[in-house]
Structure 1
Amino acid sequence: MTSREDQTILLENSRSVAFRDLPPIPKGADDGTFGTILLMYQYVEPSWSKKEHKKALKKIIELGQKLSITGRGRVAPEGVNFTLSGMPKDVRTFCTALREWNPLFNETDFKLTDWLPKDKLFKSLSIRKTEELVAYGLAGDDKAPSLKKFAGTHLEADEYHKAMTDKDTVIVDVRNAYESAIGSFRPPEGGAELIDPKMRNSIEFPKWLNDPATQEKLNGKKVLMYCTGGIRCERATALLNQMSAVNPNLKPKGVYHMRGGIDRYVKTFPDGGFWKGKNYLFDRRMEQIPVTKNPTEVEEEVDSKCCLCRQKWASYRGKFKCSQSLCGVPVIVCTSCDDRALREPERLTCELCKEGYRVPDVEPDLVSLKRKAECLMEGLTYDEAETDRNTSTIKWKTKEAKEALRKCHSDRLFLSRLPLTATKAKIEESLGVIAKVKLVHWLTDRNSGAFYGSCLIQLESTDDQAEVLKKAAETGITIDKKKVKISPVWVRKEDQWPPMDYVNRQYPPVGL
């Protein structure tokens, strides 16, 4: 234990257990009276195949059932995310078994909390098969920013604490607004600036990040991100770094996130540090507070209010939801207003709806963004290319840059919003004499195998690509009276083309 700036720091709690032995069971915690809760996630890159995905789901459910583990989790092609509970020994055995099954889990940061009252354990085990771990709308390798290439830099809790004192820094709370309402970091005076994206759910984050007003706040600053346990920051920092790779007006001085999230910070700083209020949790504990901090003091730090009577209140109980259209987020209702909330649920309104706030509707083209960023990473710098915001084409300043692009196979296009009646012949007809189509690869749903209105096409040359993009920008390209969206595709030279699942066909597949 050390002390810095009048803050107690438990350095032994500040480090990840990745590639290390799990912490031993505390003396007395294994007498059958208490349980343990586990927070963990692990991304997989490249993503698991359908077969590997199914195998992982089966294995994890089998392990959980064998060891009487309870809780909730997701298994997606991109990895796993769990909040689980059980007896201290069983939870540790579960973690060890994952490491033995797949060495990938040696790098997992298993976050264990012992001394959990047994009434706070989950009642059952629910592991869902999903397509994405966090609902950012980034499912699939064609959209998700590569963590290996673009993820932010991890800081340990004590390092993150120090970074918050830097005035040339902004802190982004990557959680939902209803979580932030009952607790957040409050940097010291003269330190970093806290930014709340005011999101109702994670799928709004790419829009918020793509907003020019947001990018102006982040440009030229050191950016720190944080969330409950760390998983949301993995993709969030990667998306910011990927955007900055192609946007000359978005150049942060560095992008960082805290290993282990708020959970590890409040364990490292038992008196709270710069954390004020409660850490919203998605388990039966409901919230987490610094262990040595007076609960009354914690309540006083929170500014949240009951959505009905407006008295100061800092607890979510009763599963009350905002009644406004297209919202439905949790709302705070005090004990005095419980009955009224049940009688008049239409009166329940969250703080964002009260102020009429909506995240700016500036959705990024995630597929094009990823391909541009990765192509530039292959050896091109942004100074060598300029993106035309109106046509989405690339104007190359040097012959060397253009030649480097040719090596990235820029003779391809991504077509979306196609009518279900589209065929290869109709695509060729829509392009007329300006370009010759060599190949059409129909894109299908991962589960059903059905065509959903998108495809990749390969043209005769990069010049053909430029001509098609020019026509799309000037007059638009239609198929069966429906305007088609067309985006350039930048592909790394080591990528396989055609894809392994390519089949030469005139018509898109209909699926199962």
Structure 2
Amino acid sequence: MSDLSDSHIHSSFYRFVTLAEPERVAQRLREISTELGGNILVAPEGISAAIAGPAQALAKFELALQQDPVFDGAFTGMWFKHSACTTKPFTLIKVHTKPEIVAFGVPGVSGLPDASKANTHVPPAQWRELIAQPDVLVLDNRNSFEFKLGRFKNAVDPEVAHFRDFPAYVASHAEEWKAEGKRIAMYCTGGIRCEKTSAWMQEQGLDVYQLDGGIVNYFKALPDAERDWEGELFVFDKRIAIDTKLQETSTTAEEVYAGLPDEAWRLARAKRLDPGA
């Protein structure tokens, strides 16, 4: 069921930052997000969120996130990625505390900044040049059903069902890639999965780069993003998919998961997101 509102805005953001009291942070987030819908994860390693609401309420929340004394400046200068909505993306707001803001599956790996490692972030304009190079392997750091819906041209699908399966794929190919002299250009939806993966891949001896801000930032930064992109971008909310103009498409959850019996639980979850459907 669609809830039409020109002023309804989707906002995604994350930050890897040490949080000594995640539950205290989460409780304050619950108090300041009552006018919004979406999901916010808080962990000792930081915050990750996909939320939406009326423009004024969202702006009020984003200001509080950066200025509220409970957060002690941890989220000052946060980068919010916005897109307008036709369908209201979420019904309820949920704030959870977890051990990680994105589960990687390798003990001891964190997305927290490490000054001892090279900066792997590549801005959108430079990314276009990078992935055109013959020694570059373009690696999709998402689930296989996301890849099938849309991808950068000539990208490789690791064929994983969960992000926690991604390290095993990399480990099984790392020596081959190094022997071939490949540079790895890696991307994901908003950047967070690549943040968690890049430092670990450097430790495996790989020459790795990540698309800064992910696919969403690429679409926002480049008006002609369709030159490099095929298909649509899956989003984990009731909109299901967006195009390179950040506009909701007509794709349904049934179409995304068609012919994928192992993903039946994802379809069931999508139905729960939209009880009026």
**Shared fold by TM > 0.5?**
yes
1:285-341 Cα deviation digits (max 9, x unpaired): 111102399x7xxx9xxxxxxxxxxxxxx65338968545xx75647xxxxxxxxxx
Q: CA separation of 1:292/1:110 partners in 2, compared to 1, >3 Å: closer, same or farther?
A: closer
Q: Secondary structure at the match of 2:159?
A: coil
1:158-237 correspondence runs (5 A): 158-187=125-154, 194-211=155-172, 213-218=173-178, 220-237=181-198
Q: State the distance in 2 between where 1:184 and 1:33 align.
A: 28
1:442-479 Cα deviation digits (max 9, x unpaired): xxxxxxxxxxxxxxxxxxxxxxxxxxxxxxxxxxxxxx
- In the alignment of these two chains, the number of paired residues is 255
Q: Post-superposition shift, 1:41?
A: 0.7
1:121-160 correspondence runs (5 A): 121-138=89-106, 142-144=108-110, 147-148=113-114, 149-150=116-117, 152-160=119-127
Q: Secondary structure at the match of 2:91?
A: coil
Q: Which amino acid aligns with 1:89?
A: Q
After TM superposition, the structure 1 stretch with the greater mean CA deviation from structure 2, 77-86 or 91-100, is 91-100
Q: CA separation of 1:95/1:38 partners in 2, compared to 1, >3 Å: closer, same or farther?
A: same
Which residue number in structure 2 is paired with residue 289 of structure 1?
Answer: 243
Q: CA separation of 1:151/1:173 partners in 2, compared to 1, >3 Å: closer, same or farther?
A: farther
Q: Secondary structure at the match of 2:204?
A: helix
Which residue number in structure 1 is paired with residue 271 of structure 2?
Answer: none
Q: Which amino acid aligns with 1:48?
A: L
1:246-325 correspondence runs (5 A): 251-252=206-207, 255-271=208-224, 272-291=226-245, 315-317=252-254, 322-323=260-261
Q: State the distance in 2 between where 1:229 and 1:123 align.
A: 22
Q: Give the aligned CA root-mean-square deviation in angstroms.
A: 2.7
Which residue number in structure 2 is paired with residue 60 of structure 1?
Answer: 29
Unaligned ranges ≥5, structure 2 = 268-277
1:199-254 Cα deviation digits (max 9, x unpaired): 1101111211221x34312553222110001100001111101222xxxxxx42xx
Q: CA separation of 1:315/1:186 partners in 2, compared to 1, >3 Å: closer, same or farther?
A: farther
2:78 to 103, 108, 112: 108
Q: CA separation of 1:328/1:215 partners in 2, compared to 1, >3 Å: closer, same or farther?
A: farther
**1:182–1:315 CA contact under 8 A, matched in 2:** no
Which residue number in structure 1 is paired with residue 13 of structure 2?
Answer: 40
Q: State the distance in 2 between where 1:206 and 1:48 align.
A: 26
2:56 to 84, 89, 98: 89
1:69 to 36, 46, 50: 36
Q: Post-superposition shift, 1:88?
A: 0.9
Q: State the distance in 2 between where 1:112 and 1:292 align.
A: 9
Structure exhibiting the larger radius of gyration computed from Cα positions: 1
TM-score for the superposition, normalised by structure 2: 0.82
**2:145–2:256 CA contact under 8 A, matched in 1:** no
Identity, in percent, stands at: 25
Q: Secondary structure at the match of 1:276?
A: strand
Q: Post-superposition shift, 1:256?
A: 1.4
Q: Secondary structure at the match of 2:75?
A: helix
Q: Secondary structure at the match of 1:104?
A: coil
Q: State the distance in 2 between where 1:280 and 1:319 align.
A: 8
Q: CA separation of 1:158/1:329 partners in 2, compared to 1, >3 Å: closer, same or farther?
A: farther
Q: Which amino acid aligns with 1:129?
A: T
Q: CA separation of 1:218/1:234 partners in 2, compared to 1, >3 Å: closer, same or farther?
A: farther
Q: CA separation of 1:151/1:87 partners in 2, compared to 1, >3 Å: closer, same or farther?
A: farther
Q: State the distance in 2 between where 1:292 and 1:285 align.
A: 11
Q: State the distance in 2 between where 1:319 and 1:279 align.
A: 11
